[in-house]
Structure 1
């Protein structure tokens, strides 16, 4: 029980609200008049009052006895500052005055009571006073008036516009109404994007008739020279068309009706046209003089594709063999490449002349080295599920090759021939007949057969569709690009050739070409003056 008594004593010591049960009197109690002490003692009931103890102040004593029963103690009247009682003259008994507050006692300094020294109340009063001072310095809303005014001014957007169009948006043309493709905007950022996405006409620039154009997927019947001469084989006749003046010339015609021309290819520089015949012959023609220069034999079946690499002419035949012809020497056949088991229908040399790509009806793509006179190819790609006729090398990346598969495959696949890896595969949802890379833009165009029969421009390297060029009613058999790289000619089984101006040259390139032409003209004039 001792520890309970100890705990009770501790609680009594630290208790601040209740009266003290023992100990000496407070100073203000010792200074109070005797009648005040008697009233306090009477209110306590005479039980354990602290006033029972004698005062320790010398010269003064506090009465500790309680009046007997039946006797009413005399209540003094009001005592003034001089110590005499103020009794009314009427003789009536004066009313007992209430106990005066010790703090108002005269003749001694102020002694505060315990309630005025409460620390929690003092802290609350200080904080309350600070809050009242802050509110008095602020506006009528109780917050910082200056800050509110600044915030209101910053948030006031009634006279300010987030989007301000100085001019109205231009009206779209009827041929460009496509909410999913064309966006009109007057902002500066939008103008930069509009300049990046050029306008591509949806209609062909010109349509040419091509009667008796053979509807054969494996043949390559048109080509465009660097001197701007367009050649096309229609049955047993080869025609030349000059886009500059629009003249059409018949180059040659086969003697027998059963024979036909199966492939065409212009030499890189010059006016020599290589022609493949269904009999297996490869002929070289001088187009300016309309003269046969040479006939080269060696193939046992028709020659479906041709490709030049300077003085080397490569030809692929229906037997699956590829012959390398050196047109400078009498023994023209310098190499034979045997790796395809069926007809070779696609053949292209890379722009740098280091690789030859071949595609065949056996669904295989082979990549041969420059010095491959015989033996196995450098790479063999077997991802296609149909014949591979569409083959094209990227003009700005010599190691990038694009190939397209037939009806059962319908994919365009990109290859890195330096590492032999497949970069990308794109499902075109249609037979891929031919592919051409743009020389000016990072794009490529593909010609399709069943069942879409249109041309499609792709953005490299994302391979996202840019635009579809629709006009042919039958499958596209082949494509050729103009020497300036702006126009694509497509020949289809509907016996038409359509010219699409889909790769405009940028203004910077035009200015550079103009400067080069001016420089060349001035140099020629200087030479002539000498």
Structure 2
């Protein structure tokens, strides 16, 4: 009886074709090895069943998986712990206060921050400017340009056509992408500019490069590619810098406590960021808005859904409304009630323009007034009444509007333009008139990003020509 049972079990373990012909018998492991061997020699790519990591099939410039474009929602809420801080030696980095951020003595070794949570393979390293080698000198102009460190002076004290002084600095590797937001200036005058997977800090008061934060894979996971930064934003007190990436990750660098923290991510590119006191709002290209409170145990405290991809996001100066701009030309205004994870929340006002609402900003001194700039098929600068949802006034710039900023102290509006003029325009607005003040020329390609120093006396512009310009406006 035992012999019969062993024979029966042995037959069940064998392939059914074995009894007919031993040549047809093959285990699953042998079959799998043959498939993988054939796929590796096939130049057309791996077989559909081959377990190849998707991350290695994309070029470094990919934005997001095409499958994610068809999803209705981003990732569900997940809890993330505060990032652990790893210090090499006794190095120091930037420290911040309520009124000023300044550089401390450059360390001998860089700070390394290992972020836990959604991106365990990424490490953030702080390097002070004094650690970097001097600017290389190359014979060829192109080689010399790429060898220059960010914020190295290319041309100083030149004059634009309108008689405004301008200083040109080098910012190699600036991504030429209309839908990114890579430049911001804090209330303390610290300029942050993202170049690839690094964020460079430049002190607008001293005119010196302070250093940079770099995102790089950990040695144990060196096969992972570094992540490209898609947007960044300083908190209103200048103590925290938020960075969003093309992988959907959101990182907070606490300058005062010198640590890095991961917040709940999106499943797609983070298109825009905006602060409301200690609350952070982020928008993705899938149209989902996350409201995050870094102080809470569960950081994700609210969501809202917009049908189109979000390319701009900004809370109003009084924190009463949140404006979100889409790639399809919709400008949505949401109320301040952000609590709750629901898809049913609707904007209180929706306005429409013929092109993407990427250049957008609230007027600091006029309640419920917001400005938008049209793309290359539009070129219209519009002033909206967000309460009525109507356009108050507009001006045709005959040029693509890539960026837009208001300055409160000097009370004027700045726009950065692309084709065909590549210039920076300053506007005065006194309801209802919108009048040009001056045109600033100096870029040779579209002006993708704008920022202003705290007192509004300087304009910072970063263009696709990989140049960073400082304009001494002299606007009264």
Q: 1:254 to 1:201 in 2, by over 3 A?
A: farther
Q: 1:286 to 1:354 in 2, by over 3 A?
A: same
Counterpart in 2 of 1:334?
Answer: 301
Considering Cα pairs closer than 8 Å and 6+ residues apart, tell me whether 1 or 2 has the greater RCO: 2
Superposed displacement of residue 503, structure 1: 5.0
Counterpart in 1 of 2:212?
Answer: 250
Give the alignment of 1:299-310 within 5 angstroms.
299-310=266-277
Q: Deviations over 1:382-440 (max 9, x none)?
A: 1x111110111111113110011211221111111223222012211111111112223
CA distance in 1, matches of 2:265, 2:371: 30
Of 462, 466, 475, the match for 2:437: 466
Counterpart in 1 of 2:327?
Answer: 361
Of 405, 414, 422, the match for 1:445: 414
RMSD: 2.0
Q: 1:459 to 1:243 in 2, by over 3 A?
A: closer
Tell me the TM-score normalized by structure 1.
Answer: 0.55
Counterpart in 1 of 2:312?
Answer: 346
- Is 1:454 the equivalent of 2:426? no
Tell me the TM-score normalized by structure 2.
Answer: 0.61
Indicate if the aligned counterparts of 1:307 and 1:349 stay in contact, CA closer than 8 A: yes
Counterpart in 1 of 2:347?
Answer: 377
Give the alignment of 1:395-414 within 5 angstroms.
395-414=364-383
CA distance in 2, matches of 1:451, 1:371: 42
CA distance in 1, matches of 2:331, 2:172: 32
CA distance in 1, matches of 2:323, 2:426: 22
Gaps of 5+ in 1: 1-173, 178-199, 507-530
Q: Deviations over 1:82-111 (max 9, x none)?
A: xxxxxxxxxxxxxxxxxxxxxxxxxxxxxx
Indicate if the aligned counterparts of 2:379 and 2:401 stay in contact, CA closer than 8 A: yes
Gaps of 5+ in 2: 1-157, 218-223
Higher strand share: 2
CA distance in 2, matches of 1:285, 1:502: 32
Q: Deviations over 1:234-283 (max 9, x none)?
A: 00111111123313301232335452011110000142100001111111
Give the alignment of 1:57-456 within 5 angstroms.
201-204=163-166, 206-245=167-206, 246-255=208-217, 256-257=224-225, 259-288=227-256, 290-292=258-260, 294-341=261-308, 343-373=309-339, 375-382=345-352, 384-456=353-425
CA distance in 1, matches of 2:267, 2:421: 35
Q: 1:464 to 1:314 in 2, by over 3 A?
A: same
Q: Deviations over 1:476-526 (max 9, x none)?
A: 11101111221110000000110112255x6xxxxxxxxxxxxxxxxxxxx
CA distance in 2, matches of 1:282, 1:405: 28
Q: Deviations over 1:121-141 (max 9, x none)?
A: xxxxxxxxxxxxxxxxxxxxx
CA distance in 1, matches of 2:171, 2:228: 15
Indicate if the aligned counterparts of 1:251 and 1:290 stay in contact, CA closer than 8 A: no
Q: Which runs of 4+ in 1 moved over 6 A?
A: 174-177
Q: Considering only CA atoms, is the larger Rg found in Structure 1 or Structure 2?
A: 1
Indicate if the aligned counterparts of 1:434 and 1:447 stay in contact, CA closer than 8 A: yes
Aligned residues: 306
CA distance in 2, matches of 1:299, 1:501: 39
Counterpart in 2 of 1:36?
Answer: none
Superposed displacement of residue 334, structure 1: 1.3
Q: 1:317 to 1:175 in 2, by over 3 A?
A: closer
Indicate if the aligned counterparts of 2:410 and 2:456 stay in contact, CA closer than 8 A: no
SS in 1 for 2:173: coil
CA distance in 2, matches of 1:175, 1:332: 48
Higher helix share: 1
CA distance in 2, matches of 1:238, 1:437: 24
